[in-house]
Chain A
Amino acid sequence: MERWQPRRGRGRGRGSYSSSSHTQQSNVSNYPSTRKPTLNLISSDNNKKHENDDPDNLPNLTGSCPYMCPVDERTRRERLRDLAIFERLNGNPTQSSSNLAVKKFCRTISTKDVRDLDLRPILVLEDTLNHLLNIFGSKSQPFEVIHDFIFDRTRSIRQDLSMQGIITGDQAIGIYEKIVKFHIISHHKLQRNIVNSDSGSNVSPMHHLNMEQLTKTLSSLYHLYDQTRKPNPEFYSFYVLLHLGSDHQPTGESLSLWLQKLPSSVMKSKEMMFSRRLLRYSRFGNFKKFLQTVDSEASCLQYYILEPFVCEVRAFGLLCLNHGGYKLNPYPLVDICKHLFMEESDVESFCKDCGLETYTSEDGTKFMPTKQTSFCSLKGSRIYYPMVSKRLKILYDEVPEII
């Protein structure tokens, strides 16, 4: 089968593929594109060639591997006993099958060594992703084990896409969107696992790495949206929500800069208006309105992203109420519940977490005295108290793992 190579502006042949005389362009977008991907990513310093979103540096190969994992890799890994638990046939660590083995992400590959046989075409990638998402929803193993596997294998899917220069098309969009959802749900579950464990308050590296890949996948997705002109506003809103918080710059780029480039239709979409409003409230410090808006409007995925920030908002709320409240008017906890969307017992614990005392009066009403000087702002992970929100509860009880 003849290989062809889409022409690029700088048209020098690459390695052994330059002999083709075909001029057909298919992977290269034919849409007039006015901008190049410009999101700066945290790990841009260790940006590998094959993960680089810059289309000028992408190699131009067409995958022909019909399986979720190239045969060579599978046999090699069987021999080396390097099979993940989900890839083992009947639990045998040396035996897999074409239905179970999934191509691993390869950190050190250089584009010269890659053969078409090693890359999976987009239809195979779609099937692979569906297979992975079934595992994700399965609960057959502890969550971290599942996450680890899906994390790696979806990264490999993205690698295959970028090595083939696939930067356009509805299928690609579908794949990236699903992977984004995977990262968001993982973000939520990994967060819960940290704060509920006793192993100290450091954010786990897994959580940080997940966040990193989330932003990278979003970046690729936005580029796709640029090319196809079919943006999905909810996915843009995620980016804004990632920037909530005083020290949050997960992408290393100013949010103002990012907003400059958005099409007007996206800016004015319901989802973006929601996240922009949350941003405004968070910058103002309007904890009440922030939490009210989350309660009444957040989608499940949006909530997962902003959930870690809810703690910060609530802490700020307590800070203000404690700071400005009249000394002779201790604040009734039941009113704090209303402001912060928390159960009363949770408010009690939360005050304690923040170094604030509460007390119970003779008739059983609980209060938080104001003008306490012992407020401490815990950075990093706090214990998370669920939001008292009927609407949200319904949303995230509704089997959110199915993507």
Chain B
Amino acid sequence: MASYMSMGEAHRRITEYLNRLVDVISYQDGASLKQLLSLSSESPSFLALADALNVFQDANRLIKQADKYSQYAEIVAPLFRAMQSYRVGHLVESYQAFEKSANAFIQEFRNWESAWALEALYVVAYEIRILAEKADRELASNGKTPEKLKAAGSFLMKVFGVLAGKGPKRVGALYVTCQLFKVYFKLGTVHLCRSVIRSIETARIFDFEEFPVRDKVTYMYYTGRLEVLNENFPAADHKLSYALKHCDPQSEANIRMILKYLVPVKLSMGILPKKSLLEKYNLLEYSDIVLAMKRGDLRLLRHALEEHEDRFLRSGVYLVLEKLELQVYQRLVKKIYIIQKQRDPSRAHQIKLEMIVKALKWLEMEMDLDEVECIMSILIYKNLVKGYFAHKSKVAVLSKQDPFPKLNGKPINA
């Protein structure tokens, strides 16, 4: 606890930190530098330092004491304030101070020619976002408008600009991009992703393959999610599958996140996941939907959508899942066909519309002949059923060959 630390001890800790910082920079030791900048990690040494600062209260004097410290005053002084505020739970103040420090850090970073401090920069980018989120929570709980995360977004765009050059620092741009994605997704301002995506994908200085795998996975995950929101299924499939393929197999939480969006995409293309997969990654909200698609059970589909409506709406996949109804209808008609085939193979391909009405009634869905005919006409038009319907005799006549074409991994055309 702060109050148990003596002034001498506090003085010692602070100067120790300052010395370390100076050494680490002069030796260009990026791995160590990043340790010194991480507030939210709340490591014991950080906590002790923050306590020391709160006890000593006049760290600025220490910084000014020696040239070797004061050259980094613009970075360290606000950083110390950020730590102090963080320690006593004043998160808005902590964010504001950290942003100042981070700005100064970026200026120095610019001057360092090689990319030695890239890992430290990543930490700064990460901390800015995390602190902003905490600060916004504090603002909201005090009845004020949260705005720090938005500010963090602007800051990160600046950082992106610093990295978007020809030198070795450019491989850091994807990490910063991903931090930006997280900010925009959290704020709901996903349209802002467009400009960074454009920079990454079209600027000549960037070669996607050069970026670290971890960042590529995160990037593909978020851009995949954007494709899901815009219902571009082939693109979504490509991106999310990439993310899945290159994701660390030990990282079950990340795999789950990818699958959460990939499963609906695959379902739209007629590809059903195994139950074991859903169980392994705790995605059981999809299990009834998969079952409904296997059985042709419209009632179950509707029920599953209703039961998990909030969850599906929040992740933005609700509309995608709703559209699976078409495939469920296809399956239902196919089942009737299979049953008929068992009874009388020569007549199986003629399905009385009345049969479909009965089947739906059995599923507690009231539908008249006219509507069934309408639905059959849609299924036929969309090539989910091959054949035609005879209006006069109220019969659907299926093609003898392949009457229920598979989707083959392609989404249904509008």
Contacts and interface: CB of A to CB of B under 8 A. Distances in A.
Nearest to B150: A36
B371 interface: yes
Contacts of A287: 374
Contacts of B15: none
B143 interface: yes
B374 A325 contact: no
Contacts of A259: 313, 316, 318-319
Contact of A256 (B145, B147, B316): B316
A280 interface: yes
Contacts of A329: 390-393
Interface stretch (B2-10, B74-82, B375-383): B375-383
B187 interface: yes
A327 B392 CA distance: 11
The dominant DSSP class at the B interface is helix
Nearest to A327: B388
A267 B140 CA distance: 24
B325 A284 contact: yes
Nearest to A289: B371
A205 interface: no
Which of A9, A256, A261 has the most CB atoms of chain B within a 10 A radius of its CB?
A256
A68 B388 CA distance: 65
Interface in B311-335: 313-320, 322-323, 325-326
A320 interface: yes
A236 to B, nearest CB: 13
Interface residues of A, number: 53
B145 A284 contact: no
Nearest to B378: A285
A280 B375 contact: no
A283 B322 contact: yes
Contacts of B377: 320-321, 323-325
Nearest to A324: B380
B323 to A, nearest CB: 6
B280 interface: no
B317 A256 contact: yes
B229 A320 contact: no
A33 B190 contact: no
A32 B141 CA distance: 7
B381 A257 contact: no
Interface string B392-410: 1100010000000000000
Contact of A257 (B145, B229, B392): B229
Interface in B225-239: 228-231
Contacts of B326: 284
B374 A286 contact: yes
B229 A254 contact: yes
Interface string B225-255: 0001111000000000000000000000000
A325 B325 contact: no
Contacts of A283: 319, 322-323
Interface in B164-205: 187-191
Interface string A22-53: 00000011111111101010000000000000
25 contacts: A29-B145, A33-B146, A36-B147, A36-B150, A38-B188, A40-B191, A56-B145, A252-B191, A256-B228, A256-B320, A260-B316, A267-B309, A279-B319, A280-B325, A283-B322, A284-B323, A284-B378, A285-B378, A286-B378, A320-B378, A320-B381, A325-B389, A326-B391, A327-B388, A331-B391
Interface of A: 9-10, 28-36, 38, 40, 55-56, 246, 252-257, 259-262, 264, 267, 279-280, 283-289, 317, 319-321, 323-329, 331-332, 335, 338-339
Given A285-B381, A288-B374, A323-B377, 5 more contacts: A256-B228, A256-B317, A257-B229, A323-B381, A329-B393
Interface of B: 139-141, 143-147, 150, 187-191, 228-231, 309-310, 313-320, 322-323, 325-326, 370-371, 374-378, 380-382, 387-393, 397, 414
